[in-house]
Structure 1
């Protein structure tokens, strides 16, 4: 009988996380550094191991193609600038304590002059590394060659082997955030329908505040997804995907803020009415039902945002529209009951009215027509910014569009002429 051994837990976790950014980054960086080292071994005139090439490749390779092309150029400039500064110092003064101080000052100044932004310290680091092992100008020029080899290999890895698109991971994080919002909203609704102690309402308020930390994590995942869509040859509608995800997260963030305000209102109401219930039994039951319907709509909204297939998107939008319509009917019923409550007991009428206002705000934010207008506004804004930033690209696209329209018109005329001749 064959004995099946269970893998250790760290290996199991590593196997499950094989698709995460850190793992992908490690594999791609290792491959780029190894390739750069092998190429530099054959091309570098130096006898010593050409470690500058794999070092540069490690600095250049990033998780996304956009980050490689944008950050890679600045990093290459910083490394090359540092090597050139080290060449000058090695030829003139060599390495002493005072020359090292001058080298650092000069490298930082050169870094600002060549505008490498956040990579200014790498100019000084590269200069110190090269000066520490370089005493002859020929050796320093070999470092320049190795740097260029590492930079070319690092960029080629992401150009020839495009990195993965992290839209799926960002979508999962958005849906997870929506589910956490749903669970908290359900608990708030259950407790608002009965006698809620002030301490319990305050605990829900703290939970709502902790959602801000979840939004920070989702925003980081979304920024990575946005970078993976830029300049990626495997993505055709990267701008549309970015806008859909970003506006969806913005809407969920607004909903969490309003939910926190709602929890604050219910906490104040519990403090004022303790030990009495927050609402009448009928009003509390309708509020619980409304928050339950809104909680389901929040998840449906997240599914709509993260769905890219047209058929699935249509079904998700139809489901969200139906849930919002039902929630709107329940909201109207709650408004009538709250009006009756205020007429019978005018105390805390501001807090009761605030509950209705906050519920309305969440429903308005998830409204499909409101979302469509927001998407169109963002698309127009991005198109305007792109035309202002790169007018030549907009002119080229417009010329291509006119040529394509002209070519299609000529093709239709030729077909029509051919059809008349054949008849």
Structure 2
């Protein structure tokens, strides 16, 4: 019985830390509070605009909440003002409805409310369709402001969760899918490989593009959750580490697709025999296994935040890279002998080594460190150019701290 209670307690604690659960609770609470406040301040019997606005404003990150709240309030106010102007001139007819929709969509583009352009037209139609246009219009503005303010205050008091862990899990899952594909390709080398089977691996490699798009979406959400978040001290570094890590895996996925194409072409040339002699096939399979493990070690490294764990992950990656490099040289010598049996196919075997080299080079720790520093410099330079006053203020604060430390 105690084991059941401990298991249930652990499960509840895990759910409480889940960003999706935290977001659900936050959205529900913010919408309910905004409705209670609107009941006290609005003359409408059911001021549902307030909880609707709060629900939409309380996004998954503090950064998107601030930007979304401002745009949503602008869209509602613009729609209400249009409805007030139209109500003073014409009533509600089919042509006036079409005209106000057209005007609202145009005004929404002008005031730059992004995804809330339809909200301008929705607000205008809802207000135009009532009898007491003036009272209803300002009540709708008031409810929208209540929902937006409650949503913003709620996110300041209860900071949204950081989605770095979710993005990290997505990156590791992508690396593991690439690993499984490489291992599956290696398993086909010792026996005659039907072209259809090799082509199936090629199609699977192409489907990695969809996986990368999903990981990119999760990473964008994580990047937003790090912006303006008081719980994060090194948000820029975390964003750049994850982004450059995904960029590297995306390049490796492209090379993996080319590698699968090379094996498919070899299968077409050698339909009646194995792709390689037994000794060569075993060596190539082991090489692909080393590369596969290197991909996972790299993903673990870029998603590890604790310094000690990161050092262990870096050591593991360095060991995998060294083992892959040794095996690569062995495969190169064996392929050189195999070329003498099939001299007309030396391009495909040379392409195989070139593609392996490209993946290992992308995963190399020195290459990654250099790329990471370049990306940090680029992002920092862009921020200074975009916000020169903020950069100057930051330099002033840093200089003041240094003088105080020197004294």
Deviates more, 1:367-376 or 1:34-43: 34-43
**Aligned partner of residue 197 in structure 2, secondary structure:** helix
Name the CA distance, whole Å, in 2 between partners of 1:278 and 1:193. 7
Q: What is the RMSD of the two structures over their aligned residues, measured on CA atoms?
A: 2.2
Q: Which residue of 2 aligns with 1:283?
A: 280
Name the CA distance, whole Å, in 2 between partners of 1:58 and 1:319. 45
Cα contact 1:91–1:135 (8 A) shared by 2: no
Name the CA distance, whole Å, in 2 between partners of 1:133 and 1:31. 30
Q: Which residue of 2 aligns with 1:389?
A: 386
Choose which of 28, 38, 41 in structure 1 pairs with 2:39: 41
**Aligned partner of residue 188 in structure 2, secondary structure:** helix
Cα shift at 1:22: 5.7
Cα shift at 1:52: 2.4
Cα contact 1:208–1:259 (8 A) shared by 2: yes
Choose which of 315, 340, 347 in structure 1 pairs with 2:344: 347
Choose which of 174, 178, 193 in structure 2 pairs with 1:177: 174
Q: Which residue of 2 aligns with 1:32?
A: 30
Deviates more, 1:303-312 or 1:62-71: 62-71
TM score, norm. by length of structure 1? 0.89
Cα contact 1:74–1:119 (8 A) shared by 2: yes
Cα shift at 1:16: 8.6
Deviation per residue, 1:256-301 (Å, 9 max, x gap): 2111111111111111112122122221111111111111111111
Structure showing greater Rg: 1
Cα shift at 1:175: 1.1
Cα contact 1:60–1:76 (8 A) shared by 2: no
Give the count of matched residue pairs. 399
Cα contact 2:39–2:45 (8 A) shared by 1: no
Q: Which residue of 1 aligns with 2:400?
A: 403
Cα shift at 1:14: 12
For 1:9-408, what aligned pairs fall within 5 Å after superposition?
23-44=21-42, 46-408=43-405
Name the CA distance, whole Å, in 1 between partners of 2:238 and 2:120. 37
Cα shift at 1:193: 3.4
Cα shift at 1:131: 2.1
Deviation per residue, 1:15-40 (Å, 9 max, x gap): 99776666544433322221111112
Cα shift at 1:128: 0.9
Cα contact 1:193–1:287 (8 A) shared by 2: no
Cα shift at 1:47: 4.9
Q: Which residue of 1 aligns with 2:7?
A: none
Cα shift at 1:199: 2.2
Unaligned runs of 5+ in 1: 5-12, 411-423
Query: CA, structure 1 residues 102+15, in 2 after alignment: closer, same or farther (shift >3 Å)?
Result: farther
Cα shift at 1:134: 4.8
TM score, norm. by length of structure 2? 0.92
